[in-house]
Amino acid sequence: MADENTPHVQAKFFTKQSQYSIPDTPYSVPAAVGTSELSSLINQILKGSDDSVDAGIEFDFLLDGEFLRVPLDKHLENRGVSSEDIVEIEFVERQPAPKPEDSLLHDDWVSCLQGCKECILSGSYDNTVRIWTTTGAPLLTIPGHSAPVKCVKWLSGDGGPTCRFISGSHDQTILIWEWHREENSVECVHACRGHAGSVDCIAINEERDKFVSGSWDKMLKLWSAAAVAEGDQEEQLEAPTKKQKISKKVQTRVPVLTLSGHTEGISAAEWLSRSEVCTASWDHTLRLWDMEKATQTSQMQGTKVFLDMSYSLLNRQIVTASADRHLRLWDPRTTDGAIVKCTYTSHNGWVSSVSWSPVNQYLFISGSYDTVMKLWDTRSPKAPLYNMSGHEEKILAVDWSIPSLLLSGAADNHLKVFQYNDEKHGT
Amino acid sequence: MSSKSRSKRKPDQFDFVDKGANDSDSSESEESVYSGLEEEPDTSEEDQEQSSNQSDNDSSDNDDDEDITLDDKSGLELSTEQRKELSTASDDELNEINDQRYTGNVKSQNRKQRKQITVKTADRPDEYDYDSSDEEDIRNTVGNIPLEWYREYPHIGYDIEGNRLLKPEKGDQLDEFLSKMDNPNYWRTVTNKMTGQNVVLSKEDLGLIQNLQSSKHPDSMAENYQPWIDFFTHEKMIHPVTNHPQHKRSFIPSKWEKLKVGQMVHALKMGWMKPTKAKTEEEEEENFYMLWKEDEESEITRRYRAHLPAPKMPLPSHAESYNPPPEYLLTKEEEEKWQNMEPEERRMNFLPQKYSSLRLVPAYKRFINEHFERCLDLYLCPRKPKIRMNINPEDLIPKLPKPRDLQPFPTAQAIVYRGHSDIVRTISVDPTGQWLVSGSDDGSVRFWEVSTGRCMKSITMETGSLGNMCIRSVAWNPHPDVSLVAIAMGQTVILVNPGLGDKMVTNNTDNVLHSFSPTEEESTGKKVYADWSSIDTSDKRFENGFRLLLQHPKEVSQVTWHGRGDYFASVMPKGDSMSVLIHQLSRRRSQNPFNKSKGMVQCVLFHPVRPFLFVATQRYVRVYNLLKQELSKKLMTNCKWVSSMAVHSGGDNIIIGSYDCRLSWFDLDVSTKPYQTLRHHKRAVRAVNYHKKYPLFASASDDGTVIVCHGMVYNDLLKNPLIVPVKILKGHAISHDLGVLDCVFHPSQPWCSKAQCERRAVCCLLQNKNGFAQQLTDDRPTKLETLVSVGKTIYKCMSSRLSKAAHTLQANDTPASSVNNCWYRQEYGTCLSDNLGSVSHVTAVNNDVYPKNCLIQQATSTKCISDALSEVDKYGCEAKVVDAMKKLGDSPSSADDLKEAYCRASVTAYECVLSVVKYCGVTEGPRTIEGLTQFSVVRTACGAFLPVTTTASPVNIGPIGDLFPKSFFSSSTNNSQVTNVNAALNSGSCQPPRGAVVCVAGSVVLLCVLLL
């Protein structure tokens, strides 16, 4: 295969994907080999063992849980691993490249978005919330807020005839909406009032009966998401535009709980478990709150302003986006907190938003003010898997709620949809 | 054989055994020998031993004298026995000799015996009897001669009687050997050279020899270590050593001393003698002396010691060879050139010449000369060691912490806030840090969301109602419960409620403003400085957020809020006595804190904690106590023109930026002078600011950079603030010579909002570059000022249109000051000359004083001035220029430059001399005299000149009076000055000639025109 003189490395390949399993024998590969050569090698081995396997599969290779991105010998040299021993290399099928699918044009900057099954919800700086189908057809434009919408979340989006969603805005209110799919009409059922600043984030718990909201007024508030809750008051909501009269009767909802502790505005919140909420703030801290005891349980100190945060139920880790170029991986289970497990650096501007994959515990996406969305694997801290460009202005929000779609909203009024096929990866 | 038997017989008895005698001689011969040799010492021992020997013959202590005693006692028996043996053994001849000797011996024996008797008779032994030291050995009388002389003879010498001493018979080698083997005393047998006889050394002799060899006392009996007897002990004894009675002197006072003391007492009484003073400490201290002699050496001797060797002569080169290589020989042209040169200028002081052999080389003619010159050099130019300071330049740099350790601070551009269409002049951040407000020259105020760069709101001012569109200053109310932004635009200050942030706050603000009802006393108050008017809710502008308007009499350049948010101050630089107004929001009242103008106010600031107001004029910052209404401090900024000012949140430190590129840090507790001055910027500093929480401050400059510095203020009063520049923020393109105009820190994050802001400013500038020229031709002179301030580039495009503008100015009858201000902003001298034609044209048209001010501003560039002056000359505004020159002379940057500038502009020749004399002492003048005759401008300057000359002492005077027309002198009418000069002239030894004089003071040429 190569010259006799070139240095070789003994490598043993294994995989966790059973369909690609190969015999456990060491192979001697040239030290300067790259991923493409290794990939073809694996393909040859697979072909030899089983003819049914398609030959053209691209693989990625992991050494000690880190992706091979440079030639093998350099990788070993950088990690200080001896090339004399047998190197154990895990191979996984390469993540397929996301394909740009659609671009949904808004009237103004897209500040927030969330997908759910076949619908996409987006909030914009023109004070409206919009509902789109995943194929890009606009379903509804909902005026309701009197100021730019900062956050939207599906409360219940599964195929029923009525879906509910929540939106928070600069006008300091959170509105709970009901969308009748078949009639394609929307109705504001609750107006949650209590914040004294723009509502920047909303997080709904797993049971979907409660949600928390974080605001620029430094408060974290817990609300009931139930259809009927105690303390609801009827209220006449003024329709800001006369064209579209929405529901006449809107119930005002007050917070169940208000937690203070942050010294600056709260930029992101996530439920970690039934009772635990994590918040990220401009005061450089991540705080964990116990919602049942209504106390703050612990605190993780960062060095920069947190702009966004995402929590993965699959690997129980938090990834944060800061007002610098880095993404940071945290583990909330460690007690002493302030340990950043990993830093992902590739962006050139502030990272405005981040979102974990709902199905793959290693993958997450991030959007930055440098107009690029990046797909990351936690095992590859130096380089992202894919860069997704297309926006002309800073990205304000990204979302990966639908496993096959990567969504990004930016200040160029566009919401970009990227198709991502992860079917081969067994869920 | 006989000898053998004999030796056997008495080995112990005889220590001294005459070998020869034993062998061959009779006992007589043996005796005779010893009798002669040891006659005297024997005597003492004999009598001692005679008794002992009688009892103990065998004692080994006995001497050879024992033989004699033996002879005496039992000699008969022995001698007979010996004789028998001898007779049998020896031949006849020997017998004869023996006989003779024997008789001799007998005689001596007799004598001995006589002596013995005498010794015995004396009771005390005479010690001299023992001593034989002065006696020579008399057994052989030959004396001290080499005994080799007797080698040939059978005898060895003569005895005292003259008989021959025969050599004892020596045995052969065999005998020698046998005796060595047999004789136990052989080892201690030595030969007496004088007698040739063998002597056996006794035990004492051996001991003596051994003692001598081991360097001991020769006498074995002598004791080396005798006990020490301390006769005169150091201890004090109670008894006298001697028993002598004490002398009388010891207890009777001295009569002589009494006499002497009496004399001295008398002398003291009479005052002839004075008691010596007790030594003071100082005198004792003077006792110190130089330990090292060299210290008090004279300079000369020291120079001898620190000798410096004379520099070595250079070695001769090839050219000096008698047979130089051909390339060293000079050609004819070169030789001629060499000849024509001055001797000092010649590269070498000889001509290379070629000789075929060394013999032909003539004597060197200049030998004596050159040696003399060298000696002169060495003698007249003393050599001195030069001490070179070895200072590592890095040691002089103070140790500063690394910027990396001082994080956080802004490092990179994060967001650009795009939207303005013209330069952004001012920005401000709301107290929560969520919003940013910016004011631009496009007449709009925009509100931005800080985190995203989103423009949330834009208010465009209506030009029709308010006149000027430029937003000069915006300031967000620092109180978190008030939602108001003060905007300065033209002569108006507008208070705007942006409607952003907490709705409750905005509503409350509106309610409070709405519920205001003026009390009567205020409405009938005294003088109204600013006209307050509130915007009605029905007004269209109310929708935009306009709440209150304050109409000012003059243009407002700055607004700033007090920390509580109720008071705010506005600055009108041209307001003279009303340049600073303080407004109270809650009572809608304006006050004028200052009655008198202290100069052009640049900016004002409220102290963050205490009731102080900082007022920055062009060169000073004054701190006023508002409660006591007094000036509490005046800070000297040491800069030419203050542009901006910021107060640390603690209130004890302020920074000041100036148009001459400096940033000065003042510690108010310490001094009124700058604690530190940073000159990092290359162009004018436009804005400075502190961070509220982090120890950071930043300065924005026209060079397009923002420099962020770490400025840590310690609570410890003894510790000086630590100032470290940490970051230069670039990325802002300079356009129209305007760089960064304002910078603001985010209230809670280490972000600097100016970088963003300035980028926006650039974009706007680029867009509107072409717009300026058009606007220049507008008919609004007030607008012109703003436009002019944009900078050099504008000037260039302006120069073609300035004449037109000037006409406009004239037509509008604009106050000249507004145009003056245009020039203040001009900071670049080179363009002035380009424009000056137009300027002077303006001057000519308006007959006003612009060049004066503009020239003052240009004092840094003299070339420009001279160009400008020559240009101005054409337009006949000399007088004004002279005025300008006078002012310029007040701060000459360089005397030569100044002179140059003056001389080139011939119109001001006289002024040149005047200023140069005044300030520098440059010794040039002839050109200026000619100049004097040509220009009537001298007349105007004469009055100013006179007082100057009176201060100098005139030394020499010469007539130049003819140069001046009579009419000129009559115009100088200041009599007091003239008399001063006259007095000065009289005091000096000078004779006033007719007409006029020239005074020469020192080396400085003074031109003085006097009326006599």
Res B33 pLDDT > 70: no
Nearest-Cα distance to chain A for B404, in Å, is: 14
Chain B positions in Cβ-Cβ contact with residue A393 (cut-off 8 Å): none
Chain B positions in Cβ-Cβ contact with residue A394 (cut-off 8 Å): 415, 452-453
Chain B positions in Cβ-Cβ contact with residue A111 (cut-off 8 Å): 452
Res B132 pLDDT > 80: no
| B415–A350 C-beta distance less than 8 A | yes
Chain B positions in Cβ-Cβ contact with residue A110 (cut-off 8 Å): none
Q: CB distance from A197 to chain B under 8 Å?
A: yes
Res B209 pLDDT > 60: yes
Decide: B438 and B757 in contact? Cβ < 8 Å.
Answer: yes
When CB atoms are compared, the residue of A109, A303, A352 closest to B454 is: A109
- State mean pLDDT over B935-962: 37
Nearest-Cα distance to chain B for A7, in Å, is: 42
Assess if CATH 2.40.30.170 describes domain B403-516+527-765: no
| CB atoms inside a 10 Å sphere around CB A208 | 13
Cite the beta strand spans of B535-652 per DSSP E.
Answer: 546-551, 558-561, 567-571, 580-584, 589-591, 603-606, 612-616, 620-625, 630-636, 642-647
Estimate to the nearest angstrom the gap between the alpha carbon of B926 and the chain centroid.
47
| B748–A282 C-beta distance less than 8 A | yes
Calpha distance B548→B533 (Å, rounded):
6
| CB atoms inside a 10 Å sphere around CB B943 | 13
When CB atoms are compared, the residue of B434, B454, B456 closest to A216 is: B434
| B432–A216 C-beta distance less than 8 A | yes
Nearest-Cα distance to chain B for A130, in Å, is: 20
Res B565 pLDDT > 70: yes
| A198–B454 C-beta distance less than 8 A | no
Nearest-Cα distance to chain A for B501, in Å, is: 6
Residue B284 has a pLDDT of: 64
Q: CB distance from A219 to chain B under 8 Å?
A: no
Chain A positions in Cβ-Cβ contact with residue B433 (cut-off 8 Å): 264, 282
pLDDT above 70 as % of chain B: 56
| A350–B452 C-beta distance less than 8 A | no
Question: Among B82, B60, B106, which Cα is nearest to B3's?
Answer: B82
Res B345 pLDDT > 80: yes
Amino acid at B553: P
Using an 8 Å CB-CB cutoff, list residues of chain B that contact chain A. Answer: 408, 414-415, 432-434, 451-454, 456, 501-504, 748-749, 751
Q: Which residue is associated with the tokens 């570059």?
A: B769
Which chain A residues in 133-152 lie under 8 Å from chain B, judged by CB atoms? Answer: 148
Amino acid at B530: A
Q: Of A81-95, A122-136, A399-413, B693-707, which gets the smallest average pLDDT?
A: A81-95
| CB atoms inside a 10 Å sphere around CB B440 | 26
Residue A269 has a pLDDT of: 93
B727: which strand partners? Answer: B708
Q: How confident is the model at residue A49 (pLDDT cuts 50, 70, 90)?
A: low
- State mean pLDDT over B135-139: 66
Residue B564 has a pLDDT of: 84
| A369–B415 C-beta distance less than 8 A | yes
Q: Which residues contact B769 (CB under 8 A, 6 or more apart)?
A: B735, B736
Chain B positions in Cβ-Cβ contact with residue A148 (cut-off 8 Å): 454, 456
Amino acid at B875: Y
Distances (CA, A) of B597 to A54, A208, A364, B59, B824: 91, 70, 65, 144, 19
Residue B256 has a pLDDT of: 92
| B408–A303 C-beta distance less than 8 A | yes
Identify which of A203-212, A377-386, B44-53 has the greatest average pLDDT.
Answer: A203-212
Question: Among B154, B151, B157, which Cα is nearest to B195's?
Answer: B157
Which chain A residues in 226-255 lie under 8 Å from chain B, judged by CB atoms? Answer: none
Calpha distance B618→B602 (Å, rounded):
7
For B969: left if phi > 0, alpha if psi spans -120 to 50, otherwise beta; the answer is alpha
| B456–A148 C-beta distance less than 8 A | yes
Instruction: Determine how β-strand A386-388 pairs with β-strand A373-377.
Output: antiparallel
Chain A positions in Cβ-Cβ contact with residue B432 (cut-off 8 Å): 197, 216
Amino acid at B368: I
Q: What is the pLDDT of residues B715-765, one digit of tens each?
A: 877 778 888 888 888 877 777 777 888 888 888 777 765 433 333 333 333
Nearest-Cα distance to chain A for B505, in Å, is: 9
- State mean pLDDT over B784-806: 41
Best mutation target, A394, A395, A413, to test chain B (most B CBs within 10 A): A394
Question: Among A200, A94, A186, A206, which Cα is nearest to A140's?
Answer: A186
| B748–A349 C-beta distance less than 8 A | no
Looking at chain B, which residue has its C-alpha nearest residue A324? B414
Structure tokens at B739: 């760089």
Decide: B128 and B134 in contact? Cβ < 8 Å.
Answer: no
Sign of CA dihedral B953, B955, B959, B960: negative
Q: CB distance from A306 to chain B under 8 Å?
A: no
Res B680 pLDDT > 50: yes
Structure tokens at B635: 């800070």
| B502–A217 C-beta distance less than 8 A | yes
Q: CB distance from A216 to chain B under 8 Å?
A: yes
Chain B positions in Cβ-Cβ contact with residue A368 (cut-off 8 Å): none
Which chain A residues in 66-105 lie under 8 Å from chain B, judged by CB atoms? Answer: none
Residue B125 has a pLDDT of: 60
Q: What is the pLDDT of residues B819-875, one digit of tens each?
A: 443 443 333 333 343 444 444 444 433 433 344 444 444 444 444 455 555 544 444
Q: How confident is the model at residue B124 (pLDDT cuts 50, 70, 90)?
A: low
Residue A398 has a pLDDT of: 93
Rounded to two decimals, the ipTM of the complex is 0.85
Distances (CA, A) of A60 to A14, A27, A96, B178: 12, 17, 11, 120
Chain B positions in Cβ-Cβ contact with residue A151 (cut-off 8 Å): none
Structure tokens at B230: 């301390």
When CB atoms are compared, the residue of B454, B502, B749 closest to A197 is: B502
Check residues B55 and B663 and name the one with the higher pLDDT.
Answer: B663
Amino acid at B529: Y
Res B119 pLDDT > 60: no
When CB atoms are compared, the residue of A111, A198, A349 closest to B414 is: A349
Amino acid at B993: P
Chain A positions in Cβ-Cβ contact with residue B504 (cut-off 8 Å): 196
| A323–B749 C-beta distance less than 8 A | yes
- State mean pLDDT over B526-532: 72
Structure tokens at A132: 């789109």
Q: CB distance from A198 to chain B under 8 Å?
A: yes
pLDDT above 90 as % of chain B: 4
When CB atoms are compared, the residue of A125, A197, A264 closest to B501 is: A197
Q: Which residue is associated with the tokens 């020192």?
A: B1002
Chain B positions in Cβ-Cβ contact with residue A306 (cut-off 8 Å): none
Calpha distance B415→B454 (Å, rounded):
10
Chain A positions in Cβ-Cβ contact with residue B456 (cut-off 8 Å): 148
Residue B912 has a pLDDT of: 46
Q: Which residues contact B878 (CB under 8 A, 6 or more apart)?
A: B872, B907, B908, B935, B937
Check residues B478 and B303 and name the one with the higher pLDDT.
Answer: B478
Q: Which residues contact B928 (CB under 8 A, 6 or more apart)?
A: B903, B909, B910, B912, B913, B1007
Average pLDDT of the residues of chain A: 83
Decide: B560 and B604 in contact? Cβ < 8 Å.
Answer: yes
How many secondary structure helices (H) and strands (E) does chain A include?
2, 35
Looking at chain A, which residue has its C-alpha nearest residue B750? A304
Structure tokens at B675: 């604690």
Chain B positions in Cβ-Cβ contact with residue A196 (cut-off 8 Å): 502, 504
Q: Which residues contact A91 (CB under 8 A, 6 or more apart)?
A: A13, A14, A15, A20, A38, A39, A42, A59, A60, A61, A62
Average pLDDT of the residues of chain B: 67
| CB atoms inside a 10 Å sphere around CB A39 | 19
Question: Among B437, B433, B444, which Cα is nearest to B469's?
Answer: B444
Looking at chain A, which residue has its C-alpha nearest residue B501? A197
Residue A220 has a pLDDT of: 92
Q: What is the pLDDT of residues B967-1012, one digit of tens each?
A: 333 333 334 444 444 444 444 433 433 333 333 333 233 334 333 3
pLDDT above 90 as % of chain A: 22
Residue A221 has a pLDDT of: 92
Res B272 pLDDT > 60: yes
When CB atoms are compared, the residue of B414, B434, B454 closest to A369 is: B414
Residue A206, H or E segment: none
| A109–B503 C-beta distance less than 8 A | no
Residue A140 has a pLDDT of: 87
Q: Of A241-255, A298-312, B138-152, B607-621, which gets the smallest average pLDDT?
A: A241-255
Q: How confident is the model at residue B527 (pLDDT cuts 50, 70, 90)?
A: low
Looking at chain B, which residue has its C-alpha nearest residue A127? B456
Nearest-Cα distance to chain B for A207, in Å, is: 32
Res B771 pLDDT > 70: no
Calpha distance B884→A404 (Å, rounded):
79
Q: CB distance from A368 to chain B under 8 Å?
A: no
Q: How confident is the model at residue B259 (pLDDT cuts 50, 70, 90)?
A: very high
